Amino acid sequence: MTKPFLTILFILSIPLSNYAQEEIVLQYYNQFSSNISYATLGSLDINYERTISKYITAGVGVTSYSNSHNDLNLEKYDGYSDYKVNLEINPFVRLYVHNTQKKSLFIEVLGSYNEAEVNTGRRISRTVNNLGYGVYAYDYGAQKMENIGLGTGVGYRFLLLKNRLVLEAQFGVRTNLKEIWIYDIGLVRTGIKAGYRF
C-alpha cells in the first residue's frame, strides 16, 4: 500500500515541483533604457529602473524634447496654447503584472518635474520707427514656466537574449498640478523603448 501511495505522490509531485521551480528568482536588478520613438524626433530620453521586488520596480527618466517633438503639439496649456516642454524628469514606480523577470504587462505611476514654454498669444504694441513715425505690430510672446505633475502609464515589456535585452511599448499621460490641473493632459513616456539589464 505504501509503495503505490508513494508512487502516486511522486507522480503528483512532478507538476507541483515544476510550479515550485517556477518560483521567481530575481536575476537582474538594474536596467537602462531609452525611448527609440523619441530619438526619431530628435529628443533624448534615458531611463534607469531598479527592481525592488518580484512585481515592483522604481526608477527615474529624463527627457530632453526637441523642437520637432514639440511641433507635434502633444500638450496644451489652459486648453489652447501650446505647451512646449524642454526638459522633463519623471520618477516612476511600476507594477509588473506577471513579474519583473519575465515578459509582462506593467502599470506605471509617475511624477514629473518639467520646464516648458507657453505661447502668451498675440498681442499688439506700438513703437516708433527710425523716421519718428508710430507703428503697430503683433508680438508673439512666450512665457517660461516650471511645473510638477502626476501621471500614469501602461505598457508591455519583452525580455530577449537571456533576459538581458529589453524591448517595451508604453503609453503614458501626465497632467501638471502647479499651473493647471487635470484639465490639460500631455502625452509622456510613450513609444517604444529599448534597454539593457544588468
Partner 1 sequence: MKKNIALIGIVLGSLFWTQCSPPDDDYINWNTIELKVKNALKIENKENYTVGDTLFFELNFSRYLPEDGQTTDLDVYETSGVNKFTYGFGMLKYSSFSDSYQGVSINEKYLLSEKGSVNYASQVFTILNPDTNIYESRIGIILVEEGEYQLDFSYLTLYSDYNPDKPSVGIEHIISEDLPLLLNFRVSK
Position 48, amino acid: Y
Under rule CB under 8 A, which residues in 107-146 are in contact with partner 1?
A: 107, 121-122, 124, 126, 128-129, 131-138
For position 168 contacting partner 1 by CB under 8 A, the verdict is no
Set of cell numbers at residue 62:
529624463
State the minimum distance, in angstroms, from the CB of residue 106 to partner 1: 10
Set of cell numbers at residue 83:
505647451
Report phi then psi at 11, rounded to 5: -65, -40
- Beta carbons within 10 angstroms of residue 97's beta carbon: 11
Pairing of strands 104-128, 134-160: antiparallel
Q: Which is nearer to partner 1, 126 or 162 (CB)?
A: 126
**Binding pattern for the stretch 69-98 against partner 1, x by CB under 8 A and - elsewhere:** -------x--xx----------------x-
Query: Contacts with partner 1: how many residues (CB under 8 A)?
Result: 27
| Local structure of 82: helix, strand or coil | strand
Residues that bind partner 1 (CB under 8 A): 76, 79-80, 97, 105, 107, 121-122, 124, 126, 128-129, 131-138, 152, 154, 173, 182-185
